[in-house]
Amino acid sequence: MTDCRLYLITPPRLPDPQAFARDLDAALTAGGDRVAALQIRLKDASDDDIRAAARILTPVAHAHDVAVLMNDHVGLTKELGLDGVHIGQSDTPYKEARRLLGPDAMIGVTCHNSRHLAMEAAEAGADYVAFGAFFPTTTKAVEHMAKLETLNIWQETMETPCVAIGGVTADTARAIAEAGADFIAVSGAVWNHPDGAAAGVAALKMALEA
């Protein structure tokens, strides 16, 4: 069994947040304490739509002791009182996000396949660094591919937790965890699972606990 936990990311579009909330609840129930976080990542959505979705999904996640982070939107994260934010290299700089959100917020930083970027983020105080993509993914356009050895080296040299993201499935989750990922970020492998989101999380959980 590995200590690696799951970090769920919403689909990029949620036409019916209420219906998705039911899928989320089922997924988190299936995942138990293996699921650590939910990232609300809605692309091309208005601020009002993001607010509405966050207000529906946050209570569901919190009922399962799952932290809720917003992708990119530092201002909305603060306004909605979410647990934290995930920022990319072209988003709000880490120091500005920390200034706005305070010392208790969870802030993670995308670092692609760069240990240099990750070390900068860790030294600045980031709560986690994210490496990826490790495999092709249909969730977003992949500009940077990461290698498993990046996780190995990071785990051996740094204490800041690392998240592996990008194309991870139940078939590859174990290898990612054994390479050194503290968390595995997943989206399509859960929400697009042919037997439903709960089955998607259950398959990932089983792979990590085998």
Concatenated DSSP letters of 25-60:
HHHHHHHGGGEEEEEE--TT--HHHHHHHHHHHHHH
43 with 13: CB under 8 angstroms? yes
Q: How far apart are CA 96 and CA 126, in angstroms?
A: 12
Using pLDDT thresholds of 50, 70 and 90, give the confidence band for residue 210. confident
Residues of the chain with pLDDT > 70: what percent?
97
| Coil, strand or helix at 105 | coil
Domains of the chain: 5-209 (3.20.20.70)
Mean pLDDT (whole number) for 31-36: 97
Q: Left (φ > 0), alpha (ψ -120 to 50) or beta: where does 43 sit? A: beta
pTM of the model: 0.95
Mean pLDDT of 85-107: 96
Residue 55's Cβ-count burial label (10 Å; 0-12, 13-18, 19+) is exposed
| Residue 96 to residue 138: CA distance in whole angstroms | 31
Averaged pLDDT score across all residues of the chain = 95
Chain centroid to Cα 148, Å, comes to: 18
Q: Which residue has the tokens 């591919």?
A: 145
Predicted pLDDT at 179: 96
pLDDT in tens, 113-172: 999 999 999 999 999 999 999 987 666 565 678 899 999 999 999 999 999 999 899 999
